[in-house]
Amino acid sequence: MTLTSRIVIAMTLGIFLGSLLKLTHDLSILGPSLDYFLLDIVANGFFDILGQIFIASLRLLIVPLVFFSLVCGVVSISSTSQIGRITIKTLGLYLLTTAIAISLALSFAVLIQPGVGIDMSIPQAFEPNQAPGLKEVIIGIFPTNPIAAMSEGNMLQIIIFSLLFGVALKSSGEFTSPLQKTFERLNQVILKLVTILIELAPYGVFSLLITLFATQGIGVIGDLAKYFFLLLGVLIFHGLFTYGIFVSFIARLNPLRFFNKMKSVALFAFSTSSSSATMPVTLQAVRDKLGVKSPVSSFTVPLGATINMDGTAIMQGVATVFISQAYNIDISLLGYLMVIVTATLASIGTAGVPGVGLIMLAMVLEQVGLPVEGIALIIGVDRLLDMTRTAVNVCGDAMVSCIVGKSENQFDNKVFLSEN
């Protein structure tokens, strides 16, 4: 049985059993003692521990994987000017797809009107964290202490340090040749650890989903069904249609083969709800299944996991229109344009900030004069939608990697056309 099949079975069982536990708890079918044992001890105890250990194990690999793979990638690049080209292309594509994503979200939301007819009372207060200013963002990209950046998981700083270290290592000539080989060997060890963890993925996926659905259940969708399914539909449309066009017409690759090779990564991302936690799996798939060589994939994937927020941008677009309609506040055409610009640029500015999706949404709402308190209305279903957003984001990372890899002659067609 393939890994994808095992992950699908684990997801199905986790969602079904978790929802069943939530239903029996709400209806008090099993009695307080058995209900406590199954829900608190088994689902939210034992399986929650397993799930959190699995996520922690994935996060354990992120920093060494990014550092070693990016240093090795830079060393293997023919010239420093190529590094500049790869950076510009990658950033440009991520910003372009984010702008397209939020434009699609606004268009569908205005057309379908998910917030019309909702009786909106003033919801509970919502206090988002403050987003950093532009000056702090630019300064914060450059690390003052690379060890601290690694311990804190500050991905942009890690990427900058890895690039500089790689350039210095490459420029040092034959003197550092043994060190270059050491980095390549350490990189292989980290990749082997990733392979081992991926084999354990079905157990981690089952543990995460049974805990989530035992806590929230599917019934949380409730009155927000129109918002929920509209946002879900736009996410799927963008993931399949927009990315399919980019893969087909810009990368000139078969989109069906692309999505087939990415399905296990998308399912994995759906289960973890974290682009960062999924990054080791994404990086392996982009290199070993899609055929994007390390000099490109070791840069585009970590950067994408940090700043590529197509799924979040779609949430912001639909949520903005939903809240404006629920409060009966009209947004002008200029307001919609401001939403697009703000959300696109904020995808870089708020990278790495905890609760980034809600911070960005708060920025967008304030930009067009909508009440930030409206965010409290959608928090209930946001966790379920976050899983789909993450799956879309990792597919976007892979799509951009393919385009940049093809344009820089860092793409292996034989690997892409293989059946692995």
Minimum mean pLDDT among 18-27, 40-49, 231-240: which range? 18-27
> Tens of pLDDT along 114-170?
877 665 544 445 454 555 566 776 787 788 899 998 888 777 788 889 888 988 888
Q: For residue 33, what pLDDT band results from cuts at 50, 70 and 90?
A: confident
Q: What is the pLDDT of residue 249?
A: 94
Write down the mean pLDDT value for the chain. 84
Residue-wise pLDDT for 208-235, tens only, equals 888 888 887 776 566 678 888 999 999 9
- Write out pLDDT tens, residues 83-125: 889 989 998 999 899 999 999 999 999 999 887 766 554 444 5
Q: What is the pTM of this model?
A: 0.82
**For position 262, what pLDDT does the model report?**
94
| pLDDT value at 275 more than 90 | no
Structural domains of the chain, with CATH: 3-417 (1.10.3860.10)
SS (H, E, C) the chain: CCHHHHHHHHHHHHHHHHHHHHHHHHHCCCCHHHHHHHHHHHHHHHHHHHHHHHHHHHHHHHHHHHHHHHHHHHHHCCCHHHHHHHHHHHHHHHHHHHHHHHHHHHHHHHHHCCCCCCCCCCCCCCCCCCCCCHHHHHHHCCCCCHHHHHHHCCHHHHHHHHHHHHHHHHHCHHHHHHHHHHHHHHHHHHHHHHHHHHHCHHHHHHHHHHHHHHHCCCHHHHHHHHHHHHHHHHHHHHHHHHHHHHHHHHCCCCHHHHHHHHHHHHHHHHHHCCHHHHHHHHHHHHHHCCCECHHHHHHHHHHHHHHCCHHHHHHHHHHHHHHHHHCCCCCCHHHHHHHHHHHHHHHHHCCCCCCHHHHHHHHHHHHCCCCHHHHHHHHHHHHHHHHHHHHHHHHHHHHHHHHHHHHCCCECHHHHHCCC
Confidence of residue 399 (pLDDT cuts 50, 70, 90): very high
> How much is the pLDDT for 391?
92
